Structure 1
């Protein structure tokens, strides 16, 4: 009669036990030394060997050769235990005997000596199913049983056991088996059974078992029947409803490289195969995790085929860690939303499309925002505004070439300028909503403070040197304008050049697209020069809406982070305000001490006599922090002599310099936000305003 693999190849001793070395080592040592406990508790998920270990332990305790860790397997006791007919091994299913009456009946037989063996062994499986009264009835006997009684408990849910029961037992937690351990065991069994198999198929069976050896053997039985005596990888995938792992890699690569056609082909393939999309998404998420782990642990061994190993290694080197984290977050969010979707297929496909839509820009890609430009009258002048000096250099040639046309109707130019003035007034209204009372900043969180109203208003004053009048000879009807801002829409640092890249291309559709930058554009970005591509036999007119630019001297190729960053100083010679600020803001001083330090200035010699000037109102606060400040100075410069002078400070303090940087950074951020294509579209379509601009 046929016997299933899980029963036929159940381990009969500790040497045959698969995995669980920590348990077998402890029990073997206890048996060899004769240090035996009266109660053992084995916990772990299904199919990891709890009952098997309990039976092996019962055999070791009652083997006719004596208490040993290596039973003989030939005596009557070992044979009876293997065949499940040993009279002194009482196996109880707690799930079917939960009542207290059943437990009392069991305990009534405990005092009697064993009939055949050396010990009477009570093996209670799924012990967590016993009732509270049953546990209470068992406590006294479990604590002080007769010498000839051993209790062996097995459970998959130890949290349901009373702590009073757990404290009376030696607890062993069995871990889920690794995939390679299960694969190796399946290979040995199939070799003994003379059944042909593919290694990838066995790996897939082991992975699907999720750490349970019994599940793996049951799936192997099913695969043998499905493949008519042979285990093929394709048969296993069809049987389990899985897809080829390489398809998951192709999907991730297509998303990362922005290949919508390839993504649509793969989604259509999923539909045709009628796969369980929840399992597909699970495998997608697991693959992202594996790629992320390989980036930080490149020596992590892979157990797949050579082709799959090569593909996953290449993929881990191609995708950045930041992109993987974004993909993982979107995929996990989509996995949670599968249950609330109309159909799981719909939720899965929307998750993939979301991954494609929110894919971060690559280093050589430019976001093209397309807008239709209506045909223009040749006599109509166009106003082109830009906030970079490099653009003035480029447009100078155009202005010179068309200088003969600048006598065009002046009233039309005035109308355009009046329109711009209205836009400037709206910008002033936006900034006015931001105005708040200034207060003393915090050294560790100074970016959350409001910007002074005066500086904000100055940031929207119109410069006089940014208007250029361009006249063209021929006009195209389908012209697109593309502006690449310095800020990334995904909250991270921009991967583009700090200078906006302006290019015009003729396109035939209205959707936003990603494309690779040309070599000319790439070099132009590096040289901080705005680029205008020439279209053969056509002239391009680009009219840029004016955005607020500070009247202060802002470096247009700097981000707010760069503006706020302190310039490194050589801390030698005499103190000045720049050296003083650079030192204390980069020191180990507490935020409270740095808060005081920014309101004063340091004079004198570095590594010598240093005099700290600070207003009188900070005397009480500085008296408490003076020791810390002096100790930090002497730790860097042992020869320092720290003196304090209270009084009015007429010089510029680090506090004033910090406020100035914050104003410039805020102005720069406002300019960059107004240049964002998405923001510009929202402002134009919905007549919107930008409010509550903050730097974090």
Structure 2
């Protein structure tokens, strides 16, 4: 008569046990040394060997050769236990005997000596099903049973057991078996049974068993019947209703590359095959987890075929870590909401569409609203048509009809063809985020203005040195007007993006122009930018004055150049950005320790934030790569005792000859903490000053009689 594989190949001793080495090691040692407990509790999921280990333990206790960890398997007791007819092994199904009367009947027989064996063993399976009264009736006997009685409990839900029962037992938690352990065991069994099989099919069965060896053997029996005496990979997939892993990889790649046609083809394929979309989504999430792990553990071993392994490695290199994290979050959210959808297919397809619709913003990308795009196009049109006073206003309806949702500065293939020119202009002008921080966007214009002023001066002086006296005047005027035109065009573009121009839905008219006698037209600056316009006129007058001076006396050129350089240095210092204020000046880490060297070193070291926080409240004195003493207040002694080793190790790692000491006392000189606090105050004041000088902010404050509040440095 045929016997199923799960029963035929049940382990009969600890050597045949698959996995659970931590349990077999403890029990073997206890049996060999005679240190036996009176109650054992085996917990774990289904099919991992709880009842099997209990039977092996009962056989070891009653073997006729004596208490041993290696039963003989030939004596009458061993054979009776293997065949399930040993009279002193009382197996009880707690699920069917939950009443207290059943427990009392069991306990009535406990005082009697064993009939055939050395010990009377009570094996209670699914013990958590017993009632509260049954547990209470069992407690006293469980704590102090007769010497000839052993209790073996097995359960899949130990949380339901009273703590009073658990405390009276030795508890062993059996873990789910690894996929490779199950695969190896199944391969050995199929070789003994002389059944043809494919390795990918065995791996798929082991993975579907989810750590249960009994489930794996049952699926193997089913696969043999389905494959008519053989196990094939395709048959296993059809039997289990699984999908090909390559389809999942193709779906992830299509989503990442925004290939909408390919995604639609895969969704239609899922519909035609009538696959269980919950399993598809589970496989999708598992694959994302596998890809994320491969990025951080590239040497992680893969147990699939060569083709699948190659696809996994390629995908892990193509998809970035932040994309994987977003995909994983969206997929898990969609999995949780799958039961809330009208149909599971609908929930799955909406999850895939959500994966297509959202992705992280890259470093070189900004989100541009439709209104910002409209204003940018209008300002560009006004500048390009500056030679005509009667340029027609831009068609607002035509611009608003453009399907603009996001502007990507990296991949031009995602642009609408009508907006390719706009992409180049945005990339050149560095369009700012709609909510800029106080210390990045506003610095850009100030620095650009200073750099442009310096470039104009240097370029004009170079022309003065290379040309004749009469030709010098013409060249200087030409360069000056062209440079001033570019600068004022930039001012017009900034003004065109101000909300006040389109706040009430009014049309934007072209800016007035002034015709110069010698050059092309340029725009007058708006009233809010009058300071920039005045500085532009001053630049032109200064250059013209230099030209006339060169015509009179060319020897004054060197002093003029020195004066321009000095003026630029003063302006650079005056217009220092908050980032520059907060940044540390590079230090040469040699010689004696100073507060600047100490702060520069520990803030750029690999020390943990906690150690750096402590380091900023002290001062290092002595010699770098020599006798170094850390001075700090007495109140930090307890904290320093915990982190002193890390600080000393980091110093010696960089300077091997360092002799580190600690000195407690009041630090009389300034500390890095005080210096950082002072830098933050100056950076905040500078950010506030730059905000108040910003033309857009000034115009808004004047228009609405407003004021700036809650300025923050991020």
TM-score, with structure 1 as normaliser: 0.63
List aligned pairs for 1:181-192, cutoff 5 A: 181-192=181-192
1:70-469 pair list within 5 angstroms: 70-360=70-360, 383-384=379-380, 406=387, 408-409=389-390
1:177-214: per-residue Cα shift (whole Å, max 9, x none)? 00000111111111112211111111111111110011
Q: Write the deviation string for residues 296-333 of structure 1: whole angstroms up to 9, x where unpaired.
A: 22222111111111211222222222222122111111
Residue 563 of structure 1: how far off its partner (Å): 8.4
Structure 1 residue runs of 5 or longer lacking an equivalent are 375-380, 387-394, 420-475, 493-497, 501-541, 609-621, 646-651, 673-689
1:123, distance to aligned residue in structure 2 (A):
0.3
C-alpha contact (below 8 Å) 2:368/2:434 kept by paired residues: no
1:559/1:128 Cα in 2 relative to 1: closer, same or farther (>3 Å)? farther
Q: Relative to 1, partners in 2 of residues 1:283 and 1:479: Cα closer, same or farther, differing over 3 Å?
A: closer
Bigger Rg, which one: 2
SS at match of 2:230: coil
CA contact (8 A) 2:92 2:122 kept: yes
What is the distance in 2 between the residues matched to 1:41 and 1:63? 22
Q: Secondary structure at the match of 2:422?
A: strand
User: In the alignment, what sits opposite 2:497?
Assistant: 546
Q: Which SS does the other structure have where 2:91 is aligned?
A: strand
1:236-280 Cα offsets, whole Å, 9 max, x none, are: 111111111111111111222221222121111111111111111
- Structure 2 distance, partners of 1:134, 1:641, is 69
SS in 2 for 1:146: coil
Equivalents in 2 of 1:490, 1:304: separation in Å?
Answer: 48
The residue aligned with 1:42 is 42
Preserved contact between residue 255 and residue 359 of structure 1 (Cα < 8 Å): no
Deviation at 1:370, TM superposition (A): 8.5
**1:10 corresponds to:** 10
CA shift for structure 1 position 383: 3.7
1:568-605 deviation line (CA, Å, top 9, x unaligned):
4668999999999979988989989989x9xxxx9xxx
Q: Give, in whole Å, the separation in 1 of the partners of 2:368 and 2:250.
A: 26
In the alignment, the residues of structure 1 paired with residue 105 and residue 218 of structure 2 have an alpha-carbon distance, to the nearest angstrom, of: 36
Q: Report which stretch shifted further, 291-300 or 13-22.
A: 291-300
Give how far 1:657 is off: 2.0
Q: Secondary structure at the match of 1:122?
A: strand
Is 1:658 the counterpart of 2:683? The answer is yes
Equivalences for 1:483-494 in 2 at 5 Å?
Answer: 483=426
SS in 2 for 1:307: helix
Within 5 A, what are the aligned runs for 1:437-586?
Answer: 481-482=422-423, 483=426, 545-547=496-498, 565-566=583-584, 568=586
Structure having the higher helix fraction is 2
Q: 1:255 to 1:694 in 2, by over 3 A?
A: farther
1:358 Cα shift?
Answer: 1.4
Contact 2:602 2:612 in 1 (8 A): no
Q: Deviations over 1:277-306 (max 9, x none)?
A: 111111111111111112222222111111
Q: What's the TM-score, normalizing by structure 2?
A: 0.62
CA contact under 8 A between 1:48 and 1:174: conserved in structure 2? yes
**Structure 1 pair 566/6, CA: closer, same or farther in 2 (3 Å)?**
same
Q: Deviations over 1:318-370 (max 9, x none)?
A: 22222221221111111111121222111211111111221235689898989
CA distance in 2, matches of 1:50, 1:325: 38
How many residues are paired up? Answer: 518
Post-superposition offset of 1:229? 1.7
Deviation at 1:669?
A: 12
d(CA) in 2 for partners of 1:225 and 1:31?
42
Contact 1:41 1:171 in 2 (8 A): yes
Question: C-alpha separation between the residues in 2 aligned to 1:245 and 1:668?
Answer: 59
**Contact 1:360 1:490 survives alignment (8 Å):** no
Does structure 1 retain, via aligned residues, the 8 Å contact 2:100–2:133? yes
Partner of 1:30: 30
Partners of 1:344 and 1:559 lie apart in 2 by 55
Distance in 1 (alpha carbons) for counterparts of 2:593 and 2:33? 75
Partner of 2:546: none
- Does the C-alpha gap of structure 1 residues 143 and 569 become closer, same or farther in structure 2, counting only changes over 3 Å? same
Instruction: Return the alpha-carbon distance in structure 1 between the equivalents of residues 614 and 72 of structure 2.
Output: 75
- Answer whether contact 1:251 1:263 (CA < 8 A) is retained: yes
Q: Report the 3-state secondary structure (helix = DSSP H, G, I; strand = E; otherwise coil) of the residue aligned with 2:172.
A: strand
> How big is the shift at 1:692?
8.6
Deviation at 1:41? Answer: 0.8
Distance 1:101 1:578 in 2: 82
Aligned 1:594-605 pairs, distance under 5 A: none
Secondary structure of 1:16's aligned partner: coil
Bigger shift: residues 656-665 or 9-18:
656-665
Question: What is the DSSP-based 3-state SS (H/G/I as helix, E as strand, rest coil) of the residue aligned with 1:15?
Answer: coil
Which consecutive unaligned segments of at least 5 residues does structure 2 have?
Answer: 397-416, 438-442, 446-492, 500-527, 533-570, 624-632, 640-646, 648-659, 671-676, 698-707
Q: CA RMSD in A?
A: 5.1
By how many angstroms is 1:114 displaced?
A: 1.0
Residues 384 and 544 in structure 1, CA contact (< 8 A), matched pair in contact too: no
Distance in 2 (alpha carbons) for counterparts of 1:241 and 1:370: 47
Taking a change above 3 Å as real, the CA distance of residues 221 and 579 of structure 1, as seen in their structure-2 partners, is closer
